[in-house]
Structure 1
Amino acid sequence: MTYALVRPILLDLNSFAHATGLHPEAVRRLVALGLLEPARDAKGDLCFPPAQVALAARIQRLHTGLSLNYAAIGLVIDLLDRIEELETTLRSLSTRH
């Protein structure tokens, strides 16, 4: 069994919405679509790790910059993450030789 030495920093819905520039209802919609993955606090309210702020910014850039709908954004993010993994693997293999 492991124990956390410090409590993780989580943003409540309003703080997260403020940090991302999104309306709280827009944040809820992104959660419902599975684009953001919040935690829940003891009361069951949405809580977001700070890393989700960068993900929300990425979602906004894809939505506005490429005019992608939210269903397509999920696919594009998955593909971009996979490309990043493959490039990292390729770099580590090329440094070994």
Structure 2
Amino acid sequence: MTTAPRPGGESRRPPTTPASRPAINVLVRTTRTTTLVPDRRLGLDAVARDSGLHPDLVRRFVALGLVDATRDAGGRLWFEPSALATLARIQRLRAALPLNYASMGLVLDLLDRISELEDALRRSNAGSSRSDESWI
């Protein structure tokens, strides 16, 4: 639903609510300003900023075991760059399924296991030269 065009040809759309918002496939904003420490880890602030999440929510995900992080001697959290993809996956699942964050760990584990099994199946099929099997 759009309203009348603005004087420059742009149309103004009404704000959307989370329930009416279209599905977004990529929820991770990448910026060139993200600073990496020498061993390629990201700090809590950089991960929170790039994922669009509040730092307290990222800390909660770490406490629930949904995202891996390490602590340095000062107690600061450090993340691998892959944590951004994990956070985006959590956001997509949370938006698509009526699950709480605690049960999200089980879903993530199951999805990871499915991916491993699919990869193993692809590898075994790639090594097989039999053409008599058809999966149509």
The bucket for the TM-score relative to the shorter chain is: 0.7 to 0.9
Q: 1:36 aligns with which of 67, 70, 73?
A: 67
Unmatched 5+ stretches in structure 1: 1-6
Q: How many residues align?
A: 91
CA offsets per residue over residues 56-91 of structure 1, 9 Å max, x none? Answer: 010111111212211221111101110111111111
Q: As a proportion of its length, which structure holds more helix?
A: 1
SS of 1:22's equivalent? coil
Q: 1:12 aligns with which of 34, 39, 43?
A: 43
- Return the letter of the residue paired with 1:96: G
Select the structure with the greater relative contact order (CA < 8 A; seq sep ≥ 6): 1
What is aligned with 1:27? 58
Q: CA deviation at 1:41?
A: 2.3
Unmatched 5+ stretches in structure 2: 1-37, 129-136
Which portions of structure 1, spanning 4 or more consecutive aligned residues, are displaced by more than 3 angstroms?
none
Q: 2:122 aligns with which of 75, 87, 91?
A: 91
The CA distance in 2 between the partners of 1:74 and 1:49, in whole Å, is 18
Q: CA deviation at 1:37?
A: 1.0
The CA RMSD measured in Å over matched residues stands at: 1.1
CA offsets per residue over residues 29-70 of structure 1, 9 Å max, x none? Answer: 111111111012232200111100000010111111212211
The CA distance in 1 between the partners of 2:118 and 2:52, in whole Å, is 31
CA offsets per residue over residues 5-27 of structure 1, 9 Å max, x none? Answer: xx421111111100110001101
What is aligned with 1:61? 92
Q: Once the two structures are aligned, what percentage of the paired residues are identical?
A: 53
SS of 1:93's equivalent? helix
Q: 1:51 aligns with which of 82, 92, 111?
A: 82
The CA distance in 2 between the partners of 1:84 and 1:61, in whole Å, is 17
TM-score norm. by structure 2 comes to 0.63
TM-score norm. by structure 1 comes to 0.87
